[in-house]
A and B are shown apart, each in its own frame.
Chain A
């Protein structure tokens, strides 16, 4: 058998460039997960509020992100908002904005679910032994809520990492774009380049996401009771 074509991956700086592209994707995911989580915790606390108006607004915010695909959101912000405000935003910034807002909505739902699933008597017992408002959160509610929300939160993170692959559609030079450039350059010499390059990117995403989803499953099983 002659040249399999897999050599295309090991020529020159190919691997290094793909790795740099992957870091761009991972960076966007990482920053968005952090911002999304922080906003999401606030969102979750808001959603346990008694006010119907607050509840309605938060619910509406969540549904808006659930009904409209994320790629559409990227388009709306990248083309629409920049156009309306007559500003220029880089694809990276747009991606971070959209993913953070989406993360906040989904994370808010997870935090709300966790807080609401706590038995009422936990709060009452806490109050009965004279804990302050902060003491109640610090020693009773947060430790129990974190347990219940962590598997869901990690799962959301893997979804966000996977979804960052879409940033190529708004012109960010991510791992896919780098892959496309490598394929274009070597396609005459190595006709099977796209098989190997896309195959490698496929495996790279798997290597990032698989440990996360395993961790989430493990925690779920461990904390089931």
Chain B
């Protein structure tokens, strides 16, 4: 099999641009889903009325439907009833909607893993509920949660491959275009895989390193 290196070099700028878009979408999607997950898990922890039920419904809806359909509904469905947004906004909202529930589940299991004695000790030295969360529960929960947060991060970066379906020029979309235009199937698929490896492998190493770093906060293990 002959690989057309010249072609690969000529498409480099195209893939570079697409990779940046993928990274940008993954980054904002992950960041927003962390915020959503944190807020949801705190609502569940305090058992706030009504909001708690809403979070429950949100988590089930988001976890049990495919991202592709969530995106299509956001992008093609909502515009028809008057809610219009750009492709990028739509993609980030879609990723955050999907990721938020996964992050919320991860945080929740982390909070549940904090031992009762820790919370009681916190209360007995007179910490307020907010202080308890800030100084006792979150640092410990975070250490326990880190592996699942890392897995969710990688999951979300991989899910960005789907947003090409709503016409964003990320890696998948560009590959589809290049195959369609030049019929250089091998070269474009090769570039696609390499691009994902370049994005996801360092991310995976970084997250493993972070996991080791935050382990100090784990108590009693």
Contact = CB atoms under 8 A, between A and B. Distances in A.
A66 B70 CA distance: 23
Contacts of A205: 64-66, 69
A202 interface: yes
A64 to B, nearest CB: 10
A209 B219 CA distance: 36
B140 to A, nearest CB: 21
Interface stretch (B13-21, B31-39, B48-56, B195-203): B195-203
Contact of A206 (B61, B68, B172): B61
Given A169-B165, A195-B80, A75 B69 contact: no
Contact of A176 (B69, B176, B185): B69
Interface in A191-210: 191-196, 198-199, 201-202, 205-206, 209-210
A83 B185 contact: yes
B162 A166 contact: yes
B162 A210 contact: no
Interface stretch (A96-104, A134-142, A157-165): A157-165
Contacts of A188: none
Band of interface residues on A: 35 or more
A84 B64 contact: no
Contacts of A213: 60, 63-64
B76 interface: yes
B16 to A, nearest CB: 18
B161 A195 contact: no
A210 B189 contact: no
Given A76-B189, A84-B186, A209-B64, A198 B73 contact: yes
Interface in B164-220: 165, 172, 175-176, 179, 185-186, 189, 192-193, 196-197, 200-201, 204
B68 A165 contact: yes
A91 to B, nearest CB: 14
Band of interface residues on B: 35 or more
B12 interface: no
A83 B68 contact: no
A199 B70 CA distance: 9
Given A75-B175, A83-B185, A205-B66, A191 B193 contact: no
Contacts of B175: 75
Contacts of B204: 67
Nearest to A5: B80
Output the residue of A70, A165, A198, A209 with the most chain B CB within 10 A: A198
A68 B70 CA distance: 22
A71 interface: yes
B26 to A, nearest CB: 11
Nearest to A161: B66
Interface of A: 5, 66-72, 75-76, 79-80, 83-84, 158, 162-163, 165-166, 168-169, 176, 183, 191-196, 198-199, 201-202, 205-206, 209-210, 213
Given A68-B197, A162-B64, 20 more contacts: A66-B154, A67-B196, A69-B172, A71-B172, A72-B192, A72-B193, A75-B175, A76-B193, A80-B185, A83-B186, A162-B66, A165-B66, A165-B68, A191-B80, A192-B81, A194-B77, A199-B73, A199-B77, A206-B61, A213-B60
8 contacts: A66-B154, A75-B172, A79-B185, A79-B189, A80-B186, A163-B66, A183-B76, A209-B64
